[in-house]
Chain A
Amino acid sequence: MSKFVVENRIWDKEESLPRSDLAALQSSKLRKTVEQVQEVPFYQKKFAEAGLAAEKIQTLDDLQRLPFTTKADLRGEYPLGMLAVGKKDVARYHGSSGTTGQPTMVAYTHNDLKMWSNLCARFLTGGGLLPAHSVQIAFGYGLFTGGFGLHYGVERVGASIIPAAAGNTPKQLMLMMDMQVDALVCTPSYALNISEFIIQNDIPRNALNLKYAHFGGEPWTEDMRTRIEDEMGILCFNNYGLSEVIGPGVSGECAARDGMHIAEDAFIVECINPDTLEPVAPGEEGELVFTSLSKEAMPIIRYRTRDIASLNPEPCACGRTHIRMSRVTGRSDDMLIIKGVNVYPSQVEQALLRVEGTAPHYQIEVDRPDRKDIVTVKVEMTEESFSSSMKEMQELKDRINRAIQTITGLRMNIELVSPNSLERFIGKAQRVIDHRKKV
């Protein structure tokens, strides 16, 4: 365990606004946001379909009359259909993480970037960051919101940044040791790789000055936290965000590490039953839905995240009044996060369809036997794809592998199985078996 103790610090006064003031702030900002989105043809259409006039939305109770926005909606509006300002007012673009397919683009004005970095500064401060600290960011810098989001958050706090970016573990360790880095920012699964490297190379703990880490970009577990904390002797903090809403900074843990405070002055959160779309009781698991309150370039109304978590409205020991969300425990769609990359089973299916002779019957198994996600795609053999030559069979596996890699950006193990050996489903197919319950 870490000997490092994080003192309870709050970044700005909005984090501890009395609930009544917060509700009043949310109402007025919601009215403004609804007005703003009237500039977007997509929302004009949605409001018209719902027979809803913008001026009808006055209080937070009216929120539930607003239409939901889905990932499919954003794909349909690719690239910039959701933009509520002129292109000249956009300061930066990002995109949804991961796949090499078409991303969903998001945009930020200068004010958005300022607001966003402030949100990141909040959870970083809650999780120990001080201006005197140095932070190594081992997130990808690029369309992915993780790298730049955290970068400007750290800068906002006034700490120093080692923008190491993702990958090259030996170099990460070299920098961490030579620069006597205080804090690490990356995905929890990459932290496991770093920890493994430290163990394998017998790097003594006192060669590092690392005290704490902020993890995000993918779901993880308490078991994983315990393991990383034990192995690396640091404190680990969880944060949450998604590019469609803003990126990292939507929520993050405070020193109490008992749930992530959602920036409620910037977003309204709802937790719904994904089937009935009705709100679930406080504390119950459901799908998180976010409405932005402060965004200019791409305000978003009731975005269905597909992330399953619960909300805790109880007051927190840290003094923040913002509601807390649990870890994300699952998805209400079949999206998988593999090594921080978003993958849908349909992408694997698309890849198989490109390989001649392969059957539409497949199953994806995900496991983390030690530290790394391993994906196995089981594909049923057909007479057409079968060959008596081992070389041709290997070539078939290679072709499947390449097709999957082209579409998902990930390498997967291909397992050829007997016809009819995979379970058949009536209705919605259960294509994925995820064994990653624990580390």
Chain B
Amino acid sequence: MKLKQLSVFLENKPGRLRELCALLADSGINMITISLADTEQFGILRLIVSDCEAAKAVLEEKGFVAKITEVIAVEVNDEPGGLRNVLQVEEAAGISVEYMYAFTIKSGENAVLLFRFDDMDKAVDALQTAGFKVLDSVALFNRADD
């Protein structure tokens, strides 16, 4: 039930992000969602893309450092408290969030939350036990394409 995320090391230099986007676009790789964690000197770009392995190969060929990491995608109602409800479950299970980001699905009323937890397996169990909809890649891409 885990999802592949592509993380890319991005040195803070003008044009670097555009260069990366152009490479993916030229290879016909679509970004479902994107998040950038930045420091003064470098950033970590986290991407959910249509073809993770292909994207990694394209970027590596052009000298980017890219890594595939697992994250968990949870579908929640796009309404107040959506994120809190998930965090309550994880907190109760003693699991910490390493980082997270979110996006809303185009046509629906739902939002997708993407998480990296310190204990990924335990996190999935806790969420499913609590009745949350954890999306695999097929389900996620279906939602995104709706």
Chain A residues proximal to chain B, CB less than 8 Å: 381-383, 386-391, 393, 415-421
Contacts and interface: CB of A to CB of B under 8 A. Distances in A.
A129 B139 CA distance: 84
Interface in B5-43: 5, 7, 9, 11, 16, 37, 39, 41-42
Interface string B53-95: 0000000100111110100000000000000000000000000
Nearest to A417: B11
A415 B39 CA distance: 11
Nearest to B43: A390
A381 B44 CA distance: 12
Contact of B116 (A381, A386, A388, A421): A388
Contact of A415 (B7, B41, B60, B67): B41
Contacts of A420: 63
Nearest to A380: B65
22 contacts: A383-B66, A383-B67, A388-B5, A388-B46, A388-B67, A389-B44, A389-B116, A390-B44, A393-B39, A393-B42, A393-B44, A415-B41, A416-B9, A416-B42, A417-B42, A418-B9, A418-B11, A418-B63, A418-B65, A419-B65, A420-B63, A421-B11
Contacts of B66: 383
Grouping DSSP codes into helix (H, G, I), strand (E, B) and loop, the B interface class, with mixed when no group exceeds half, is: strand
B141 interface: no
B44 A388 contact: yes
Contacts of A419: 63-65
Contacts, number: 53
5 A-B pairs with the lowest CB-CB distances in the bound complex, closest first:
A388-B7, A388-B69, A381-B65, A418-B11, A386-B65
Contacts of B60: 383
A386 B66 CA distance: 8
Nearest to B98: A389
Contact of B64 (A391, A417, A418): A418
A82 to B, nearest CB: 45
A389 B16 CA distance: 20
Given A417-B11, A418-B9, A421-B11, A389 B99 contact: yes
Nearest to A421: B11
Contacts of B11: 416-418, 421
A387 B5 CA distance: 12
Contact of B9 (A381, A389, A391, A415): A381
Contacts of B9: 381, 386, 416, 418
A93 B42 CA distance: 47
A431 B42 CA distance: 22
A374 to B, nearest CB: 14
B92 to A, nearest CB: 23
Nearest to A391: B98
Nearest to A382: B65
Contacts of A417: 11, 42
A382 B67 CA distance: 10
A96 B65 CA distance: 41
Nearest to B40: A415
Contacts of B99: 388-390
Given A418-B9, A418-B11, A390 B39 contact: yes
Contacts of B39: 390, 393
A393 to B, nearest CB: 7
B98 A386 contact: no
A72 B60 CA distance: 42
A419 B42 CA distance: 13
Given A417-B11, A418-B11, A390 B37 contact: yes
Contacts of A421: 11, 63
Contacts of B63: 418-421
A386 B16 CA distance: 17
Contacts of B64: 418-419
A420 B44 CA distance: 18
A390 B39 CA distance: 9
A409 B60 CA distance: 36
Contacts of A381: 9, 65
Contacts of B42: 393, 416-417
Q: Which of A381, A382, A389, A419 has the most chain B CB atoms inside 10 A of its CB?
A: A389
B41 A386 contact: no
Nearest to B6: A388
A345 B7 CA distance: 32
A122 to B, nearest CB: 49
Nearest to A416: B42
Contacts of B41: 415-416
Nearest to B70: A388
